[in-house]
Amino acid sequence: MISVIPYQHVFFTGIGGCSMSGLAETLAAAGHSVSGSDNHQSVATDRLLAQGIPVFIGHRAENLPTDADLLVYTVAVHADNPELLAARSRGIPIMERGEFLGLLMTAFPKPVCVSGTHGKTSTTSMITSILLDAGYDPSAHVGAIVDAIGGSWRLGRSPYFVAESDEYHDSFLWFHAFAAVIINVEYEHPDYFKDLDHMLRSYHTFASNIDPEGFLIINASIQGLEKVTAGLACRVLTFGTPDAQYRHANLAFDSQGFVSFDAYERDTFLCRVGLRVRGAQMATDALAALACAKELGVPRADIPRSLSQFGGAHRRFEIKGQVNGVTVADDYAHHPTEIGVNLLAAKQAGYRRVHAIFQPHTFSRTKTLLPELAAAFADADTVTLMDIYAAREQDPGDIHSRDLLTAMRALTPEKDIAYFSNREDIVKRLFEIASPGDLFITLGAGDVTTLGDLILQTGLSTSSTAPTGV
């Protein structure tokens, strides 16, 4: 068992989340008893059940086993959740997911924490892959399925634990890293952070928790960089700009949109990096991963070799298939910057036309970032909007996908933009507007990912009747 976890049976409320399911699998692999519940059956819950981990669908007090001695929950779980109430009534300790991950991290002498508004998953996956290929045998916790490690987690035998570190609700403040990466900081999570300055203060606290013997790799282009790095005891190394310690140059894209670049440390050429993933943002993520790995002591020649084999994480411009000459892709992008980066990458990949299908994520984000979201689809030829995915929120009644539709049409009245509440109607629309050589890309952090499967299952039909949209 992992010695720092003084609990034998851990119950996870919300076990179907990528991070939660990964934690559950990690504990089970280490010899602990694990069970949990989730509101919905999913690929993750099926995977847990296949491993013999009990999973209940729906939250009920009776789900909590009699021998459970810790309950772990996500911030999406409300205070009146019956399992939380049952645990409290029985005196069972309760931990939020971030606190539990921070506890788990203390079992490893050299935690490596990767944070930022965008790119956490890809950069965490890249660093993990580099260390793994170099023989470092790292443990890892990633917010997506990564084929290189066979899931969202890995339990190694070395001092290194690479962890995606989420800023939402200040979860990452539970983490004490030996090394950390901050890829970028943009205003996000308006349901928690008041403004960008609030976020910068949190990132400064996160960076202040880094081991004084360790280091921070941080993007030099971050607005408010000095607020994040002020008074840090650890070494601070910058990347990403022409005057940063680590920089890239000569970006190029091949016929599939895969990116390559030259990496430099100051004026010293390090290597040419060729990736099998798309978009300029991936070059930035790879540069951060390269810098981190090099500072950890990975031989320079091993890094580009590993990056050249990196196939990406699931739901990061993931190609799901092709139907009648139309490619179907899926991405987790839900922030305006992420959306724009993915659509630009799609354009660079040479598709005839790019059809974006977007599911806004949370009411608060959609309302606060409405102008930025409306402007994020410049590189899409058509846009189809779905209903807002509520996630952890209740509908306040003052924001709707139709509001985003109106804002987008005001910006680009010539663009084909529509909203549908019914998925079958969306698929019918797509069948009408697509031709061979096009791309369908589903975007969003909710259940929009399942729409690609529906598209592939249904197939293109030129005889479909176009629905009436808004």
Contact 309, 274 (CB under 8 A): no
Tokens at residue 34, please? 């694990």
pLDDT at 470: 57
338 among known catalytic residues: no
CATH of domain 318-458: 3.90.190.20
164 among known catalytic residues: yes
354-397: pLDDT as tens digits: 999 999 999 999 999 999 999 999 999 999 999 999 887 889 99
* Domain 106-309 identical in fold to domain 318-458: no
Buried b (16+ CB within 10 A) or exposed e, 225-234: bebbbeebeb
Higher pLDDT, 135 or 338: 135
Contact 401, 360 (CB under 8 A): yes
Q: Of all residues in the chain, what percent carry a pLDDT higher than 70?
A: 97
Query: Catalytic one among 13, 123, 124, 164?
Result: 164
442-454: pLDDT as tens digits: 999 888 988 988 8
Residue 167 has pLDDT above 70, yes or no: yes
- As a whole number of angstroms, the distance between CA 341 and CA 219 comes to 17
- As a whole number of angstroms, the distance between CA 153 and CA 22 comes to 5
Q: What is the mean pLDDT of the chain?
A: 91
Indicate the CATH number of 9-95 among 3.40.50.720, 3.40.1350.10, 3.50.50.60, 1.10.150.120.
3.40.50.720
Tokens at residue 447, please? 């259940």
Residue 336 has pLDDT above 60, yes or no: yes
Q: Which CATH class is domain 106-309?
A: alpha beta
227 among known catalytic residues: no
73-102: pLDDT as tens digits: 998 888 999 999 999 999 999 999 999 999
Residue ranges of domains in the chain:
9-95, 106-309, 318-458
C-alpha distance from residue 136 to each of 105, 126, 153, 331 (Å): 17, 14, 15, 30
- As a whole number of angstroms, the distance between CA 67 and CA 197 comes to 44
Q: Give the number of other CB atoms < 10 A from CB of residue 451.
A: 23
Residue 314 has pLDDT above 60, yes or no: yes
Query: Catalytic one among 13, 26, 74, 121?
Result: 121
- Euclidean distance between the first and the last CA atom of the chain, given in angstroms as a whole number: 56
In the block, tokens 């081991």 appear at 211
96-154: pLDDT as tens digits: 999 999 999 999 999 999 999 988 999 999 999 999 999 999 999 998 888 888 888 89
Instruction: Band the pLDDT of 179: cuts 50, 70, 90.
Output: very high
Query: Catalytic one among 110, 120, 294, 428?
Result: 120
pLDDT at 145: 81
> For 459, phi and psi rounded to 5 degrees?
80, 160
Instruction: Collect contacts of 322-326 with beta carbons under 8 A, ≥24 apart.
Output: 323/455, 323/456, 323/459, 323/460, 324/436, 324/459, 324/460, 325/435, 325/436, 325/437, 325/438, 326/434, 326/435, 326/436, 326/437, 326/438, 326/439, 326/440, 326/460
Average pLDDT over residues 406-421: 94
Q: Of all residues in the chain, what percent carry a pLDDT higher than 90?
A: 71
